[in-house]
Amino acid sequence: MSNICVIGTGYVGLVTGTCFADLGNQVFCLDIDDERVSNLRQGILPIYEPGLEQLVAQNVRAGRLIFTRDYAEALKDAEFAFIAVGTPSGVDGEADLQYVRAAAEAITDCIDHPLVVINKSTVPVGTGDWVAEVIQKRGSGKKLDFAVVSNPEFLREGSAINDFMSPDRVVLGSLDRDAASRVAQLYLSLRCPILITDLRTAEMIKYASNAFLATRISFINEIANMCEELGADVREVAVGMGLDKRIGTAFLDAGLGWGGSCFPKDVKALAHMAVLHGTQPQLLHAVMEINRNQRRRAVMRLRRALGSLNEKVIGILGLSFKPTTDDIRDAPALEIIHLLQNEGAHIRAYDPQAMEGTARLITRIHLCENPYEVAEGVDALVLATEWNEFKSLDFVRIRELMRTPVILDGRNLWEPERLRALGFTYFGIGRAVNHK
Ligand SMILES: NC(=O)c1ccc[n+]([C@@H]2O[C@H](COP(=O)([O-])OP(=O)(O)OC[C@H]3O[C@@H](n4cnc5c(N)ncnc54)[C@H](O)[C@@H]3O)[C@@H](O)[C@H]2O)c1
């Protein structure tokens, strides 16, 4: 059993803290957001993540998980302090480190005993050294005994608990091997590969992994666009490619492109880092450009199908950046809505989890109770997020409700032949119009 403090109670901090508590550790989860902390104390979670509410309740009841705003309380007996605060994009695409700095400084003000500070936030290469400097500077005059370890997080929203409890690997980086080995002990019961390396390499592993996954998606989307023009079906192309063991099937689903809280900001931050240090990230720039175009192309196809988008009513199914999360940060749906509204279209939309967040961000939008209400009187229906509940809709009813039966299946969820037989004009991604 170890004493752990986790700073930040967002997707990463809350999952990390709760899972460490569930593994038997004593955990303080700390946040500067007063409302978030008082809600968490009442069992109200700031995010939707399957299974998390129950796991939080269980560990709070067992006395292993405590929520606080007070750094002194959270760090009093802590041997480990995980920094899991946000690192959003700055004005130039760089990772904004103001929250990491604030956390590091607040830690320094409280430590009077040996502490391992662990960066779980996704931070630019070199940030571990920078955090050590921030702590040294802030604590000058104090006798400090600390080490900094990088421990990038690879969990996916929607399956975060499982990803934490059964990770493909844990990556730890430090100049202090002993500190890294002590952090490794925290993960031993997970029985997964643990890679211990230096600080900068660990930080780069996180960015390289996300950039690579984003590249696979942009790659298949580029192929999808060619398929549309050349009469091939990208889904079968992806299966045929994926059967090659060197390639594999993951992240080869053509669609409206990648979004979310990580890929967009991390690819941008990596490209920014590269330029700042004199290298040319040409591939990363292309990966981002393909992704942007994927949204524009969807709007272009709707415009072509409807003549003009001005005063047309478009229904959007799905708002979160992927299913089983309420996260709408950089969600393709939101960018498409923005582009459509810009051309004069009116939007009706529904999402099982992301309506509240969307209502806060977009004002001119009619949020509906279900997919059928969305379909009422629309000129086109766009599937933006492949939630399970959209898999088997009653398309006869939808056809009757729509003003013009145009469907853009942005996630290749539905069967084109069936929908065309019902009288819809169906567009998928990478499924040639005259072919499939
Ligand atoms: N969301 C993901 O799926 C995911 C996956 C892997 C890595 N990451 C990385 O993990 C980090 C956190 O991401 P997130 O999605 O959990 O962020 P988030 O925005 O959901 O949560 C961040 C939390 O930190 C709190 N915070 C900010 N400054 C603070 C401070 N000084 N002290 C205490 N709390 C503070 C905020 O109030 C907020 O509750 C980011 O660097 C992100 O790139 C995220």
Residue-by-residue DSSP string for 359-427: HHH-SS-EE-SSHHHHHTT-SEEEE-S--GGGTT--HHHHHHH-SS-EEEETT--S-HHHHHHTT-EEE
> How many Cβ atoms are within 10 Å of 338's Cβ, its own excluded?
14
Instruction: Name the pLDDT band for 436 (thresholds 50, 70, 90).
Output: very low
Closest CA to 152 of 189, 110, 180: 180
- In the reported structure, the alpha carbon of residue 215 is separated from the centroid of ligand 1 by a whole-number distance in angstroms of 24
Burial 253-278 (b: 16+ CB within 10 A, else e): bbbbbbbbbbbbbbbbbbbbbbbeee
Q: How far is the CA of 9 from the centre of ligand 1 (A)?
A: 7
Is the CB of residue 5 less than 8 Å from the CB of residue 20? no
Q: Which residue(s) pair with 170 in the sheet?
A: 194
Tens of pLDDT, residue by residue over 123-158, are 999 999 999 999 999 999 889 999 999 999 999 999
DSSP state letter for 231? T
Side chain identity at residue 197, one-letter code: T
Structure tokens at 352: 């099982």
Question: Which CA distances in Å does 134 have to 99, 281, 368?
Answer: 13, 29, 48
Task: Specify the residue with its C-alpha closest to ligand 1, atom 30.
Answer: 103
C-alpha distances in angstroms, 1 versus 22, 27, 135?
Answer: 11, 10, 27
Instruction: For ligand 1, pick from 5, 31, 45 the residue to mutate: most ligand atoms within 8 Å of CB.
Output: 31
> 5, 19, 262, 368: which one is catalytic?
262
Cα 239 to averaged position of ligand 1 atoms, centre (Å): 35
Q: Is the CB of 207 under 6 A from ligand 1?
A: no
pLDDT score for 432: 79
Q: Is 150 in the pocket of ligand 1 (CB under 6 A)?
A: no
Contact of 398 with 372, CB cutoff 8 Å: yes
The per-residue pLDDT for 161 is 98
Largest CA distance in the chain: 77
Whether the per-residue pLDDT at 435 is higher than 60: the answer is no
Tokens of 91: 């004005």
Band of residue 434 on the pLDDT scale cut at 50, 70, 90: low
Task: Tell how far the Cα of 99 is from the centroid of ligand 1, in angstroms.
Answer: 9
User: Rounded to the nearest 10 degrees, how much is the dihedral formed by the CA atoms of 235, 236, 239, 243?
Assistant: -160
Mutate to test the pocket of ligand 1, among 9, 11, 161 (most ligand atoms within 8 A of CB): 11
- Mean pLDDT, residues 52-66: 98
**Under DSSP, is residue 189 helix (H, G, I), strand (E, B) or coil?**
helix
Catalytic annotation on 262?
yes
Calculate what percentage of the chain has a pLDDT beyond 90.
98
Among protein residues, the one whose CA lies closest to atom 27 of ligand 1: 85
Q: Which of 49-53, 163-167, 282-286, 429-433 has the lowest mean pLDDT?
A: 429-433
47 CA: nearest ligand 1 atom: 20
What is the pLDDT of the chain when averaged over all its residues? 97
pLDDT tens for 82-119 read: 999 999 999 999 999 999 999 999 999 999 999 999 99
344-389 pLDDT, tens digit each: 999 999 999 999 999 999 989 999 999 999 999 999 999 999 999 9
Alpha-carbon span 80 to 147, nearest angstrom:
10
Number of other residues whose CB lies within 10 A of the CB of residue 159: 15
Report field, pTM of the whole predicted structure over 0.85: yes
Distance CA 24, CA 43 (A): 20
Q: Are 366 and 397 in contact (CB under 8 A)?
A: no
